[in-house]
Amino acid sequence: MFKHAIVRTVSKNFQYGLTSSKLGKPDYNKALIQHSDYIKALRKCGLKVLTLETDDRFPDSTFVEDTAVVNEDLAIIANLGATSRKGEEIEIRKVLDKFYENVESIEKPGTLDGGDVLRVEDQYFIGISQRTNKVGALQLKEILKKYGYSCILVKLKEVIHLKTGLVYIGDKNLIVSGEFIDNPLFQNYNIIKVDEDESYAANCIRVNNYVLLANGYEKLINSISSLGCKVLKLDITEFRKMDGGLSCLSLRF
């Protein structure tokens, strides 16, 4: 069970962050409301939420998931792959130092974004992407091995981060979209395929007894509900405009 979440308030410069979405400029005030609803949902799932101050030097810093990999044993501080995001991890390290005895780091020339790291029980899938290079992925693999976790590297073709299109919600259920659908690596799981017109919704999160899902993607919402999961739907449109989704907005542990 997760007990804590770390989130970071949306920067006033949010609109200047990285994006490939072509969905237009995010509405800052709407983003603040959606972020606050996200925090309320995490609390409903039983988490204590620590909200960090915004840092306007980093437009993308609300996407805290990319700054670290956390589990019940340790925290690993990322070395973010995008130049404009380097430095976001400094504040996160200070915070995680208070929660964890074991804190490790990805060092250059390794780069790694937390969004490329998917935990499935005691195994991790690590995406090799435009943000995470092989050196960074192998560093993470070595670190996790010391704590008894195994890792499999997955080369990404299209999506920004691994968890943009591949998410585990427990009980062998893997949400799979786009380039991951026919990948033999995932065939031993109960695959929940996401149709192309709903691919954005693949980035959902299981938080204790709930699955948090983007509002408006009825097919996926129905598939997940029919598994017997309790679903919380959230408006997340302004984060989508900046290529972000539900997982990116928090570190959960």
Q: Could you list the active site residues?
A: 161, 248
Residue 248 one-letter amino acid: C
Choose between 28 and 227: whose C-beta lies nearer to ligand CIR: 28
Q: How far is the CB of 228 from ligand CIR (least distance, A)?
A: 27
Q: Is the torsion defined by CA of 247, 240, 58, 162 positive or negative?
A: positive
Choose between 26 and 110: whose C-beta lies nearer to ligand CIR: 26
Nearest 5°: phi and psi at 105?
-140, 150
Whole-number Å distance between alpha carbons of 84 and 166: 25
Site for ligand CIR in 223-252 (CB under 6 A): 242-245, 247-248
Selected range binding ligand CIR among 5-13, 158-166, 204-212, 217-225, rule: CB under 6 A: 158-166
Between β-strands 190-194 and 173-177, what pairing exists: parallel, antiparallel or unpaired? parallel
Site for ligand CIR in 169-208 (CB under 6 A): none
Q: How far is the CB of 166 from ligand CIR (least distance, A)?
A: 11
Q: Which of 2, 9, 14, 17 binds ligand CIR (CB under 6 A)?
A: 17
Q: Which of 15, 16, 18, 186 binds ligand CIR (CB under 6 A)?
A: 18
Q: How far is the CB of 151 from ligand CIR (least distance, A)?
A: 18
Choose between 25 and 146: whose C-beta lies nearer to ligand CIR: 25
Is residue 19 a contact residue for ligand CIR (CB under 6 A)?
yes
Choose between 86 and 227: whose C-beta lies nearer to ligand CIR: 86
CA 141 to chain centre: 18
Is residue 88 a contact residue for ligand CIR (CB under 6 A)?
no
Site for ligand CIR in 55-74 (CB under 6 A): 60, 63, 65-66
Q: How many positions of this chain bind ligand CIR (CB under 6 A)?
A: 20
117 to 27, 145, 201: CA distances (angstroms): 29, 14, 18
Q: How far is the CB of 80 from ligand CIR (least distance, A)?
A: 8
Choose between 11 and 173: whose C-beta lies nearer to ligand CIR: 11
Q: Which residues bind ligand CIR (CB under 6 A)?
A: 17-19, 60, 63, 65-66, 82, 85, 115, 160-161, 163-164, 242-245, 247-248
